[in-house]
Structure 1
Amino acid sequence: MRLSDAEREEAIEALSEHVRTGRLDIDEYGTRSAKVTAARTRGDLAPLFEDLPEPQPSVLRARPVPARPAAPARRFSVGAVPIAAIIALLLFFTVARGLWLVFLIPVVVAFVYGARSR
C-alpha cells in the first residue's frame, strides 16, 4: 500500500522522538529520515523501524489482514444428484410410463455440470 505525505510526516516525527530519547544519533536520523522521505510503500518504511520500540508510525501498527481469495462458486453440487434422481423417479412413474432412459437424466446432468465446473 502506498504511503501518504501525512504518514511520512508521522514517521519522521517518530524518528525525531527516538533522537530526543537518545536511541538514534543525528547522522542515523538523517539517513533514516531521507529514506522515509523517499519511501513509497509500507514495505519501504518497515525496515527503518524494525530495531526501534514505540513510538512507531501508525501505518506500521495497523497492518491489514491479507484478504483470502474467495473459493470458486460451485455451479453444481453433489447434493443436486439426489434431487435429480427424485425428479427422474417422478418422471418415470408419471410422464414416461416406464421408459428406463429417464434414469439417465441425473447421470447426464452430473457429467455436464461436473465438466463445466472444472
Structure 2
Amino acid sequence: MNEQAPDIQGQAPEPEEERKPVVFAVRIDPVLREQIEGLRGITEQSVNEVGVEALEGWVAQTLSDETIQQKAMSELDAEERRLQERRSAIAGILGQKATAAEASSEATSGRSSSPSSRRAKARPES
C-alpha cells in the first residue's frame, strides 16, 4: 500500500499559514483492501487519492443530509443554552446583574428571579 501524506486538493491555503496534510489511517477488511488495490491499479490512482476522494464524497453527502443539518443546529442551540446558564451563574457569583440576553434566557427557561436578586436575599445584613 502506498503511504503518502494526503494531498489537499481544491482547498486554498490559509492566507497567513499554509495548512499541512496530516495522516489519517483507517483499518479495513482485507477483502476490501484487495478490491481497492485492484481498482486503483486500473484507475492509476494512489491509495491516498482513492481515500481522499472517498472521504470528500462522504463529507459532502453527510453535510447535505437535512437530518444531519437539523441535528447540528439542535446541538448548537443546546450548547448556547448551557453557555448562557454558565454565564448567568458566573455573573451571579461576581455580583453582576444579568444582561438583557441573560434576562431573556432566564425568562424562557422558567426562572423567576435573577442570580443577583437571589444572592441579595441570601446575603446577611451588616
Q: TM-score, normalised by structure 2?
A: 0.24
Q: Kindly name which structure, 1 or 2, has the bigger radius of gyration based on alpha carbons.
A: 1
